[in-house]
Amino acid sequence: MAGSGRGRGRASFTFNIEAIGFSKGAVLPDVVCKPPPLFPSTENKPVPLKTGEDEDYMLALKQDFRGAMKKMPYFLAVEENHEGSFMCFLFLFLSSVFIP
């Protein structure tokens, strides 16, 4: 039963290339061998920050408010103790390996 498969004869496309905007015999776009830029070009410049006495007052007020909130008894500080967490991980790992 030689020659009964679809692999012989004229090659055909598995999809319609006209559906993606190319016609038969059209020149395809060039291959891009470099990565796209990391950031888009900035055609529009950002608006400069407002400066003045009012803005300086608001900045000082915000900083004072943050400081007052941190001094309150309800402020929860995160304590980072990486050494203790590593020792806990090491103990759990060793106990799961050596203890049946």
| Token pair in block for residue 86 | 């590593």
2-12 pLDDT per residue, tens: 555 565 656 66
Positive or negative: CA dihedral 87, 89, 91, 93: negative
Least confident residue range of 10-19, 20-29, 65-74, 83-92: 83-92
Is the pTM here over 0.75, yes or no?
no
Whole-number pLDDT of residue 75 = 81
Domain ranges of the chain: 49-100
Whole-number pLDDT of residue 92 = 64
49-77 pLDDT per residue, tens: 888 999 999 999 999 999 999 898 888 77
